[in-house]
A = this chain, B = another copy of it.
């Protein structure tokens, strides 16, 4: 009953602004498809460079969400 189970999905959020913004973009997208998002963890920070300028930041994220009820489990993290 109170023994929750969580699923962890891995996404990469990107942004032309910086790391915080890339995290927010990733979480926002995941929240469109999955209920009960609970936590995230940064796994890596990379980026793409064009003409000597940072074109976008890429932040790898593990995102956890609760999947207690069988019906809640049918949704996928989208990201």
Chain B residues with Cβ below 8 Å from A57 are 20, 23
Total residues of chain A contacting the partner, CB 8 A: 60
For A25, give the chain B residue with the smallest CB separation. Answer: B3
Residue A49 contacts which of B15, B20, B40, B42 (CB distance < 8 angstroms)?
B40
Which residues of chain A in 47-79 are interfacial with respect to chain B, using CB atoms and an 8 Å cutoff?
A: 47-49, 52-54, 56-57, 60, 62-64, 67, 70, 73-74, 76-79
The minimal Cβ–Cβ distance linking A38 to chain B, given in whole angstroms, is 6
Chain B residues with Cβ below 8 Å from A12 are 5-8, 64
- Other than the known A6-B14, A27-B53, what 7 A-B pairs have Cβ atoms closer than 8 Å? A5-B29, A7-B10, A7-B77, A27-B54, A29-B67, A29-B73, A41-B47
